[in-house]
A and B are shown apart, each in its own frame.
Chain A
Amino acid sequence: MSGIEQVREVGPAQAGAAESVAMRPAARPGAGGVQARARAALQDEFLRGAVRFTTDRLRGRKQAAAEELGRWEEWRERGRQIRAHTVEHLDYYLRQFVDNLRAAGAKVYFAVDAHEAAETVAGIVREKQGRLVVKSKSMVSEEIHLNHRLAEDGVEVVETDLGEYIIQLVHEAPSHIIIPAIHKTRGQIRDLFAAAGGEDLSTETRDLAAFARRTLREKFLAADVGLTGCNFGIAETGSIVLFTNEGNGRMVSTLPRTHIVTMGMERIIPAWADLEVMANLLPRSATGQKLTAYMTVITGPRRQGEIDGPDELHVVILDNGRSAQLGDPAFQPVLHCIRCGACLNVCPVYRHIGGHAYGSVYPGPIGAVLSPLLRDGEQYADLPYASSLCGACFEACPVKIPLHDMLVHLRQRNVARGWVKPAERAAFGAFRAVFAHLGRYRLAMRAARILQRPLVRRGRMDARVGPLRGWTQSRSFPALARQPFRERFPALVAELGPAGAAGMESAKARPIGEAHQQAAMRGGQPNGVSDPAGPAGGEHRG
């Protein structure tokens, strides 16, 4: 029976990730723009190393899990179809969901914005005379700043996800959507736990987790109210689905007498059959697991005769900027998101700056799109620029949300609203004036070739001045060629003659010499590669 012993001894798992899939808040809106916050994050080598390490693992696991399942693109397409259909008919499915929730004995509330949602939850807690609230992860609760609101009423709110608990002890915001305490070392965690009453703890993961288990177990059993989010709401029965790994989601929805759910209004799927698709997409995309340790489907509070479970179920449904995306072809698909975090794990920008730098509850590519949409205004207007538009987010998205296109469309919105610097507008005005007309284009390029001369050394520019300094501070910029291609072209055509008739060309006609002249500019040293056509190259043969 060594298998059991191994598990009891917290042996290494042979497969699967250990992170909880459900939702994870990011930083509170911070001061300064995304550039300033990114600059600070880029100085934090521990954070960057940790983010690289973790996102690498999550990426690899997701890839493996998708391959293991097979026909991933068909699954993605089905996921997209289900989410698109639901959102397109949200009035119908949300109605059905709400009617069935009530039929199952739940109380339902509607909140148009964050303030109303937080007030609604606070009202329920007050009515239940709740003093201690235990929470499992919920992005929506972060979005409505619920902990802060409950604290105002003197209610103790305890985050029960291990990572969230660590972060809460140190009063920080999570820095990763899956592993919120990623920037904390085990030594720091030991000290935090010691301050919270954990005496003589080692820095072993097992000991630290055991302390959290003991401490939080007491909270679970003593709490009056349990608070969760909702990964999916099943319309046909009014059921709430939660994906978790630690088991805290089950604790929170089982032990306290009152269970409150906060959820975005778009978090619906039509039918139980659709849950199989989401269950195959969400855990794989989030952590590379086939399925999280717990998938819990709740349909109303406990029934007559059931021995445990909450007496009351309250569901708060939040709009907070979501309905404004409906009917807008550019942005409606953002409501398809299933909050898996896969776009963060592949994003090369997130990889380097982490979650805090986004300064919004939702980090990464989805945050750069969702935050400015949900909170329309200039506060998050700079987030869509924190992307190289590489499209990795779209490729990773299990429901095929075109995040890269949305980032462009958000930039267009900024331009239309005048939320751009005058200098930038002027620069693109000039771009248009020059590049839309061949004559001006030629003239401008000729002028530029002359103007660049003082800055060019060995075919490249390195001076850290002018509008290109964002580039030249860290990279060389190539100089404009002495003669542009279009001026060389006629001679080239004349030299080549009719196609297909080319014989062996003379050495001087080849571009090798020039290629070497330009080698420095291209990044290498002129002697980096020997002339492949020359005698040395010939000697390589065989």
Chain B
Amino acid sequence: MDEAAFFERIARRLGRSAPLSAPPARDAVGAPEFWQAYQLPEEERIAKFCAELGKLGGHAEVFDSLAALHEGLRRVLRELGPRRIGLVGGGGLAAFALDEVLAEWETVVWPYAGGGELSEEAARAEVLRVFAAADVGITDCDWAVADTGSIVIAADSGRGRSVSLLPSVHIALIRSSQIRTRMGEVLAEVAARRASGGMPSGLFFITGPSRSSDIENDLTIGVHGPAAVVALVLRG
């Protein structure tokens, strides 16, 4: 249908001769005020995040040092015994210096040597192939939300979308300073990027493992997305 006619019809039904072009005044924006004032101190925030993720069948652990986190990651991976681990190199993950820990396993780091010569189309297909074949995907994150136990990942931060989606296990490395009390704080920070033209093309709130209860209302984990979500939190 003609776009102008579509809008004129709406305006007419709402009793206006032409579509409204000035922003209408609002008095109730976002969450109720009492909720917007909800703020946990850092230690409680960390604890709440871990507890909420745990309730959903996810797993969270907190580490005081990078070395301890490395040890924790090694322990998790030894228990899982993955045939292949996938991750996106560079970006925020580099700061976690995982090379030595991951040396024990077959690890595919995208973009791998030679990958850069592929056409964009071929490279995209290769990314999906790589992460579909990985048992474990490791990512860092942009934020985490204590209230819901959510890990928040933006697609535009170099780590893509499929590494946290296609493997059976998703391990997310989180800095405790990234944990916010409520979702609204993250939404406000994302919305603020709008001014700088930096809206992420995709923003993913991941809250525990993939789940369904479509068969006789019986809970199943890992239907399409990861069957396990592990959050390793580094203080600082």
Q: Is A121 among interface residues, defined by CB-CB distance under 8 A?
A: no
Task: Using known A-B contacts A294-B207, A295-B207, A300-B201, determine if residue A15 contacts B56 with beta carbons closer than 8 Å.
Answer: yes
Contact A296 B204 (CB under 8 A): yes
**A293 and B225 in contact, given A221-B128, A279-B183 (Cβ under 8 angstroms):** yes
Specify which chain A residues have a CB less than 8 angstroms from the CB of B217 in the assembled complex.
50, 53-54, 57, 179, 182
A299 to B193, CA, bound (A): 12
Q: Any chain B CB within 8 A of the CB of A111?
A: yes
Q: Which of A304-312, A358-366, A435-443, A500-508 contacts B (4 or more CB under 8 A)?
A: A304-312
Indicate which residue in B79, B150, B224 contacts A251 across the interface (CB closer than 8 Å): B224
A10-B220, A14-B57 known; A302 vs B165 contact (CB < 8 Å)? no
- Smallest CB separation, B223 vs chain A (Å): 4
Chain A interfacial residues counted at CB < 8 A: 112
A303 to B202, CA, bound (A): 10
Partner of A326, one of B14, B80, B210: B14
Contacts of B224 in A (CB 8 A): 160, 213, 216-217, 220, 246-248, 250-251
Task: Contact check, A306 vs B201: say whether CB atoms are below 8 A apart.
Answer: yes
Q: Check if A181 is an interface residue, CB within 8 A of chain B.
A: yes
Set of chain B residues within 8 Å of A276, measured between Cβ atoms: 30-31, 35, 182-184, 187
Chain A: which residue is nearest B218 at the CB level? Answer: A205
> What's the Cα separation between A168 and B216 when bound, in Å?
17
**Chain A residues near B16 (CB, 8 Å)?**
91
Are A20 and B32 neighbours in the complex by a CB distance under 8 Å? Answer: no
**Contact across chains for B194 and A237 when beta carbons are under 8 A apart:** yes
Tell me which residues across on chain B come within 8 A of A300, comparing CB atoms: 199, 201
Complex CA gap A15/B52 in Å reads: 10
Give the nearest-CB partner of B124 in chain A.
A308
Asked if A416 CB lies within 8 Å of chain B CBs, one says no
User: Which of B22, B56, B190, B215 is close to A186, meaning CB atoms less than 8 Å apart?
Assistant: B215
Q: How far is B12's CA from A90's CA once the two chains are assembled, in angstroms?
A: 11
- Decide yes or no: A205 and B215 within 8 Å by CB, A13-B221, A302-B155 being known contacts: yes
Closest to A287 in B: B213
Which of B3-11, B39-47, B62-70, B98-106 participates in binding chain A?
B3-11
Are the CB atoms of B80 and A217 closer together than 8 Å? no
CB distance from A176 to the nearest CB of B (A): 10
Cβ of A481 under 8 Å from chain B: no
Question: B213 is contacted by which of A19, A291, A295, A303 (Cβ under 8 Å)?
Answer: A19
Interchain CB contact under 8 A, B7 and A94: yes
Counted as pairs of residues, one from A and one from B, with CB atoms less than 8 Å apart, the total is 330
- Interface segment, A265-273, A460-468, A471-479, A487-495? A265-273
Q: Which residues of the other chain, A, contact B29 by a CB distance below 8 angstroms?
A: 82, 270-271, 273-274
| B128–A16 CB distance below 8 A | no
Verify B227–A10 contact, CB threshold 8 A: yes
Nearest CB in chain B: distance from A389 CB, A: 28
A272 B201 Cβ-Cβ under 8 A = no
Q: Which residues of A contact B148 (CB under 8 A)?
A: 290-291
Q: Which residues of B contact A98 (CB under 8 A)?
A: 3
Structural contact, A180 and B214, CB atoms closer than 8 A: yes
Shortest C-beta distance, B100 to chain A (Å), equals: 20
A7 touches B31 (CB 8 A): no
Contact of B21 among A10, A92, A270, A298 (CB under 8 A): A92
Task: Judge if B114 is at the interface, Cβ distance under 8 Å.
Answer: no
Pair A293/B161 contact, Cβ less than 8 Å? no
- Alpha-carbon distance A511/B2, docked complex (angstroms): 73
In the complex, the answer to whether B160 meets A272 with C-beta atoms within 8 Å is no
Find chain B residues with CB under 8 A from A209 CB: 212, 215, 220, 222-223
Provide the residues of chain A in CB contact with B75, threshold 8 Å: 1
Say yes or no for B109: interface residue by CB 8 A criterion: no
Q: Which residues of A contact B182 (CB under 8 A)?
A: 276
A326 and B227 CA atoms in complex are apart in Å by: 44
Q: In the complex, which residues of chain A have a beta carbon less than 8 angstroms from the beta carbon of B165?
A: 247, 250-251, 254
A-B contact pairs, 20 of them (CB 8 A): A3-B59, A4-B79, A4-B80, A16-B208, A18-B213, A20-B214, A90-B14, A98-B3, A110-B2, A116-B1, A250-B224, A251-B224, A270-B26, A276-B187, A280-B35, A290-B147, A296-B204, A306-B201, A308-B162, A324-B13
Interface, chain B (partner A; CB < 8 A): 1-3, 6-7, 9-11, 13-16, 19-24, 26-32, 34-35, 52, 54-59, 75-76, 79-80, 88, 110-111, 123-124, 127-128, 132, 147-148, 150, 155-156, 158, 160-162, 165, 168-169, 182-184, 187-188, 190-191, 194, 199-230
Known A-B contacts: A236-B191, A271-B30, A295-B207. Give 15 more (CB < 8 A).
Answer: A1-B76, A13-B219, A14-B54, A18-B212, A74-B32, A91-B7, A91-B11, A110-B6, A166-B215, A179-B217, A185-B216, A209-B223, A272-B188, A296-B203, A303-B201
Chain A interfacial positions (CB closer than 8 Å to B): 1, 3-8, 10-20, 50, 53-54, 57, 71, 74-75, 78, 81-82, 85, 88-92, 94-95, 98, 104, 110-112, 116, 160-163, 166, 179-182, 185-186, 189, 205-206, 208-209, 212-213, 216-217, 220-221, 236-237, 239, 245-248, 250-251, 253-255, 257, 265, 270-277, 279-280, 290-303, 306-309, 317, 319, 323-324, 326-327
